[in-house]
Chains A and B, each alone.
Chain A
Amino acid sequence: MSVGYLASDSLLGYVLAALVHIALIINIVAVGALVFIWLERKISGRIQDRLGPTRVGGKFGWLQTLADGLKLITKEDLMPAGADGLLFKIAPYVSFCAAIAAYLAIPFAGGDHPFAALRVNSGIFFVLAVLGLEVFGTILAGYSSASKWSLFGAMREAAQVVSYEVPIGMCAVVPVLLVGSLDLVYIGDMQAGLFTNWLVFNDPFTFIAFWVYFTCALASVNRAPFDLAEAESELVAGFHTEYSGLRWSFFFMAEYGSMFSVSLLAAILFLGGWNGPLPVTEWLGLTGEVGTLSWYLGSLIGAANLIGKATFGVCVMMWIRWTLPRLRIDQVMATCLKYCTPIAATMFLGAVLWQYNLPHRNFFGLSDRPAATYAVSEGWELEKAKAEQEKALLEQDIEGAEQSENLDETVESRTAEAVVKTVALRGGN
């Protein structure tokens, strides 16, 4: 896609395209944090039989977060006298960068031209790898603050995040297995159509894997009941005890950013991604085949769908936070190692067996999977072409044995054709 007459490799065009992507991603994280902090206040208020913020910005106190932000900017930027200055100052940005970088590879709508800053062939792997890096900021903050509370909080977080990466990875592999690709765009597109095609309803094993994923995601983003790194009752405020003002708010933006990104990931992997429960965009004819404008509208509806689902996921996280008491550190580790990991491993095995025995059934085996959503086999074109050749060869063998001398040449030329085709197909991607 070129922007008007601006060449994509000219300085202005390149920088402009990059800036648009960056602005959109930062917008999602920053505005998302604004909305979610307000939502958290309202939801916690309602759960505790209070009203929450009511005044700032007229109705519902919807500008409360902005007022908070203004207050944070005017606060003094404190640093403990014994702190390691460089690491103390840089730690919030490390957290925030990791939270933002995950959005680089998350698509917001699918199709041939997905709404993604960067379509990565190994998308889910990249996102999981980057999400695991957020803990660096926490550890650096805890170490450099020269405070016992901070250090305790950071070490707890390190133990927790490293452990919970294992079951998360196992649960994320289940949709990858069913779809046959690590590409998040494929994974989302494979769930198009009715909600019966969503991978969470594919079989009993993915259904349970989804809940294990959600539990572990909750733990990996450090939310209650797993928020041991900032346990207020024991550690004052955990790793960000010594932070104030804008630096402190960067930690919060990172937390809400990663909450939203794990929810987005849950929605794409299990809950149909940008496909609504009913294929409304398809009924309205808003697909890529009709025209650019209809494709754009359809993708926008898809993006709204995905953001809606992810927002619902974040709300559920808040609901859990204000309902359940905090676990002890040994209970957190036991939940991961004794329950989540074995359950995730069993669900993975079960999904493998299911896919092997009933590859074309979905919705718990009750309905047939549409042929368009069979597992993709990207990069297999060569193998498929070879299999076709062998089949053709067998047929020719039956026809006449005297032609067999010419067959080798035919195979070679056909293989070359297949290679060309493969390269063309890959280029198209």
Chain B
Amino acid sequence: MDAIYWPSFFFLLFGLLACGFAVAVLLATNIVRMAFYLIMSLSATSGLFFLAGADFVGAMQLMIYVGGTLVLLIFGVMLTSQERFVEMKTMAGDWIFGFLAGGALLVTLCWVAFSVPAWRGIDRAAAEQLQVEPTVAPLAMGLLGARTDEGGEHGYLLFFEIVSVHLLVVLVGAAYLARAKISRGTAAERTSHVEPGAALPK
């Protein structure tokens, strides 16, 4: 039997799944089905990451993007469950604008992808020599300021710190916006268990 080059096979499979479900997101009219197709598309993308040996990014894709779509799904369910299975129709104008914006991005990305020489694939003989490398420790070291592939220099500590602080601010802001708004007086009345007007024992 002929030897199949399995990485190419799975690249095509996952790529087709990702693109197919992305098109399905466009064509679906029900918001929950859209979210479901989006989940499938993003999961196939994470499969592509695993295929490329980037297991940490793949797991990250599953946890953040696929997990984040969960929240989208919940909101979709909550907002549309008043009526049964709301249908959403796209206007003709929206289609045109969508195709213009999406097409421009696609053309730019394709042009960049095929014009950068460093992104050309290596030939099969060289690809078969590649070994699976550990991914987590180099990534973590890079974020802490020491890139293992550059001899411990050119890390990303500052960017990592800025992003972390930014995230913290966002979380605190979200908690501030979401907190229960009870005025001080009412809260005290609720917790003190004292009848209004009753004399306090001294």
Binding site for B on A (CB under 8 A): 7, 9-12, 14, 82, 84, 86-87, 90, 120-122, 125-126, 128-130, 132-133, 135-136, 139-140, 142-144, 146, 151, 154-155, 158, 162, 181-183, 377-380, 382-383, 386, 415, 422-423, 426-427, 429
Closest-by-CB residue of A relative to B3 is A9
- Lowest 7 CB-CB distances: which A-B pairs, in order? A379-B137, A129-B63, A427-B131, A129-B62, A126-B59, A122-B56, A426-B133
Tell me the complex Cα distance, A125–B136, Å. 10
Smallest beta-carbon distance A342→chain B, Å: 14
* Stretch from B77-85, B104-112, B113-121, B184-192 contacting the other chain: B77-85
With A125-B63, A154-B77, A426-B133 given, can you name 18 additional A-B contacts, CB distance below 8 Å? A10-B3, A14-B6, A87-B36, A129-B60, A130-B62, A132-B70, A136-B36, A143-B77, A151-B81, A155-B78, A181-B137, A182-B136, A379-B141, A380-B141, A386-B151, A423-B131, A423-B133, A426-B134
Closest-by-CB residue of A relative to B64 is A129
Name the A residues within 8 Å of B141 (CB-CB).
Answer: 379-380, 383
Residue pairs across A and B with Cβ atoms less than 8 A apart, 26 shown, are: A11-B3, A86-B33, A120-B59, A121-B55, A121-B134, A122-B55, A122-B59, A125-B56, A125-B59, A125-B136, A129-B59, A129-B63, A129-B66, A139-B74, A139-B77, A140-B32, A140-B73, A146-B85, A377-B137, A379-B137, A383-B152, A386-B152, A422-B148, A423-B133, A426-B133, A427-B131
Does B146 interact with chain A (Cβ within 8 Å)? yes
Smallest beta-carbon distance B157→chain A, Å: 15
Contact A133 B62, beta carbon cutoff 8 Å: yes
Count, A-B residue pairs, CB within 8 A: 127
Q: A9-B6, A11-B1, A382-B152 are in contact. Are A121 and B70 (CB under 8 A)?
A: no
Contact A121 B135, beta carbon cutoff 8 Å: yes
Tell me the complex Cα distance, A181–B135, Å. 11
Smallest beta-carbon distance A152→chain B, Å: 10
Name the B residues within 8 Å of A158 (CB-CB).
Answer: 70, 74
Does B92 interact with chain A (Cβ within 8 Å)? no
Closest-by-CB residue of B relative to A7 is B3
Contact of A383 among B4, B67, B71, B146 (CB under 8 A): B146
Name the B residues within 8 Å of A154 (CB-CB).
Answer: 77
Contact B1 A10, beta carbon cutoff 8 Å: yes
Smallest beta-carbon distance A424→chain B, Å: 9
Q: Report B37-68 CB contacts with A as 1/0, cut-off 8 Å.
A: 00100000000000000011011101100110
Name the B residues within 8 Å of A136 (CB-CB).
Answer: 36, 39, 70, 73
Name the B residues within 8 Å of A383 (CB-CB).
Answer: 141, 146, 148, 152
Smallest beta-carbon distance B47→chain A, Å: 11
Closest-by-CB residue of B relative to A386 is B152
Name the B residues within 8 Å of A129 (CB-CB).
Answer: 59-60, 62-63, 66-67
Smallest beta-carbon distance A214→chain B, Å: 22
Closest-by-CB residue of A relative to B66 is A133
Name the A residues within 8 Å of B70 (CB-CB).
Answer: 132, 135-136, 139, 158, 162
Contact A87 B33, beta carbon cutoff 8 Å: yes
Contact A12 B133, beta carbon cutoff 8 Å: no
Closest-by-CB residue of B relative to A126 is B59
Tell me the complex Cα distance, A133–B136, Å. 22
Tell me the complex Cα distance, A84–B34, Å. 13
Contact B36 A140, beta carbon cutoff 8 Å: yes
Q: A125-B56, A162-B70 are in contact. Are A429 and B136 (CB under 8 A)?
A: no
Tell me the complex Cα distance, A10–B74, Å. 44
Contact A379 B59, beta carbon cutoff 8 Å: no
Name the B residues within 8 Å of A121 (CB-CB).
Answer: 55-56, 134-136
Contact A429 B132, beta carbon cutoff 8 Å: yes
Name the B residues within 8 Å of A12 (CB-CB).
Answer: 1
Does B2 interact with chain A (Cβ within 8 Å)? yes
Smallest beta-carbon distance B187→chain A, Å: 17
Name the B residues within 8 Å of A422 (CB-CB).
Answer: 148
Contact of B134 among A14, A87, A126, A429 (CB under 8 A): A429
Contact A382 B77, beta carbon cutoff 8 Å: no
Contact A126 B77, beta carbon cutoff 8 Å: no
Contact of A426 among B55, B131, B136 (CB under 8 A): B131
Contact of B77 among A128, A155, A415 (CB under 8 A): A155
Q: A423-B131, A427-B131 are in contact. Are A128 and B63 (CB under 8 A)?
A: yes
Smallest beta-carbon distance A377→chain B, Å: 8
Most chain B CB atoms below 10 A, which of A133, A151, A154: A133
Name the A residues within 8 Å of B6 (CB-CB).
Answer: 9, 14
Tell me the complex Cα distance, A426–B132, Å. 7
Closest-by-CB residue of A relative to B43 is A133
Name the B residues within 8 Å of A181 (CB-CB).
Answer: 136-137
Tell me the complex Cα distance, A126–B61, Å. 10
Name the B residues within 8 Å of A378 (CB-CB).
Answer: 134, 136-137
Tell me the complex Cα distance, A20–B138, Å. 33
Tell me the complex Cα distance, A181–B138, Å. 12
Most chain A CB atoms below 10 A, which of B71, B84, B148: B148
